[in-house]
Structure 1
Amino acid sequence: MREPQQDRSRTTRRRLLEATIDCLAEQGWAATTVGVVAKRAGVSRGAAQHHFPTREDLITAALEYMFDTRMQIARDESGGLPEGPGRTAAVVERLVDYYTGTLFKAALQVWTAAASDPALRQRVLPLEERFGRTAHRVAVDQLGVDGSDPEVRALVQATLDLARGLGLADVLTDDSRRRAEIVASWAAQLEAALADRALPVPDAAIVRRRRSAPTGPGQAASL
């Protein structure tokens, strides 16, 4: 039986988007043309341009598709994260994996090109902002922390910034050994900092009463 037209169209579109990401990551911005991507995806150039009239349409759609797919996988994987002390380390490792994978390498090519191309930059900036917000929200959810706490938000953002920096360090050479040491060190510091934020804060009235209560011989005032 022939595949319905709508399903064939959806399949062609997905193949083009995935081929675009792979091409960007492996060959760079200059080599990622509609013709090259179409050939890699196994479709005609005309079919590619039917779905994406311009190169910029193709590339921005590919980044959106792959990021949304990756974040959905991250949400689905949240249930498999360990509970207890090992959870923070597992989350940090996964976040760093996002920034050392194919999607980050592809996005980096586009971000670099956008720095000197005003028209492309107008397309990329909204994507970058949305990617940042979504990644932050997913990290907060996976860590199971209070995202409304400014200090917690700053710690999560620092983790994402660290992951991005480690991703950059991995672009030219395999930085996996040093990266593993840094991830383990930061995960331990992050876990301690988040644990401090999770400690219950004593009620102010109770604290005042305890501080003002008289103490007998050998009895020290304490909170």
Structure 2
Amino acid sequence: MPGSRRRHSEERVRIPRAERVEAMRLRLMEAVIWCIADKGYAATSTNDVVRRAKVSRGALAHHFPTKAALVNAAAGHLVDKRAADFESRMSSLDPKDRTPLAALDILWSFYEQPECRALMELSIAARHDSELRALMANWDDVYSEVLLKSASEVIPEIAAKPHAAVLLRTVTAVYDGLGLYDMTQQAQRERVAEVRAFFTEMLTRLDPAMGSGIPGRGPDHD
């Protein structure tokens, strides 16, 4: 038994410090996102975070000196994670099915996940928290850039268009609004679906290439 414990201890010691640090940061970032999703930003305390992450307050303070710094890092981590998920899910489709419509469906699916709804909580909270607002000042720009880069990997014909960045901002702005409505009016989800369908129709009229993958729609549609 003593020898076994010694071997286990040696195995733990051999884990590179950088990996341990990254694992700790990841636990803290994921913990704060889930706390915010469950309780909202204002009601989430650092005590909630350390309990959920199962770490000490000292560990939290070492990696993230303030609550705002932690949630800002967590938001960036979640955006990168969702971008990778978007690329993976689009790439797994048959090439003929990698359409703008499929991309919109995947993007909307993120808004239905509790973790991503935490991002909307943060955007609202930043209006009344100067420290959080300062940290997240360019967050929308980063979010759009990450999504545009991901889109360029799987639907380059859309991402390469001159108005692609504005189009993406429009989509995310509408989805942000629908996501907020969906959070507060869950009994009216059929209305959210109706608005999404109407919005998609408007996009195809703005740019026929967006209609690829929709029956009766495409570049030759009148």
Mapped pair 1:26 → 2:21: no
Partner of 2:144 in structure 1? 132
Structure 1 residues 153, 172: closer, same or farther in 2, change over 3 A? same
State the percentage of identical aligned residues.
Answer: 27
Unaligned runs of 5+ in 1: 201-223
Q: Which amino acid aligns with 2:208?
A: A
Normalising by structure 2, we get a TM-score of 0.75
User: What are the residue-to-residue correspondences of 1:203-218 with 2, within 5 Å?
Assistant: none
After TM superposition, give the deviation of residue 102 of structure 1 in Å: 2.5
Q: Secondary structure at the match of 1:159?
A: helix
Partner of 2:3 in structure 1? none
User: What are the residue-to-residue correspondences of 1:98-137 with 2, within 5 Å?
Assistant: 98-137=110-149
**Counterpart pick for 2:108 among 64, 80, 96:** 96
**Alpha-carbon distance in structure 1 between the residues aligned to 2:185 and 2:110:** 17
Mapped pair 1:35 → 2:47: yes
CA-based RMSD:
2.8
Unaligned runs of 5+ in 2: 1-7, 211-217
Q: Secondary structure at the match of 2:27?
A: helix
**Counterpart pick for 1:169 among 176, 181, 184:** 181
**Alpha-carbon distance in structure 2 between the residues aligned to 1:111 and 1:196:** 32
Normalising by structure 1, we get a TM-score of 0.75
Please say if residues 82 and 90 of structure 1, whose CA atoms lie closer than 8 Å, have aligned partners that are also in contact. no
Partner of 1:160 in structure 2? 172
Please say if residues 170 and 176 of structure 1, whose CA atoms lie closer than 8 Å, have aligned partners that are also in contact. yes
**Alpha-carbon distance in structure 2 between the residues aligned to 1:196 and 1:106:** 32
Structure 1 residues 9, 151: closer, same or farther in 2, change over 3 A? closer
Structure 1 residues 43, 31: closer, same or farther in 2, change over 3 A? same
Q: Which amino acid aligns with 1:52?
A: F
Structure with bigger gyration radius: 1
Q: Deviations over 1:146-193 (max 9, x none)?
A: 434335554444333222221111111324433334334444554565
Partner of 1:180 in structure 2? 193
Structure 1 residues 81, 154: closer, same or farther in 2, change over 3 A? farther
Please say if residues 40 and 118 of structure 2, whose CA atoms lie closer than 8 Å, have aligned partners that are also in contact. yes
Mapped pair 1:81 → 2:93: yes
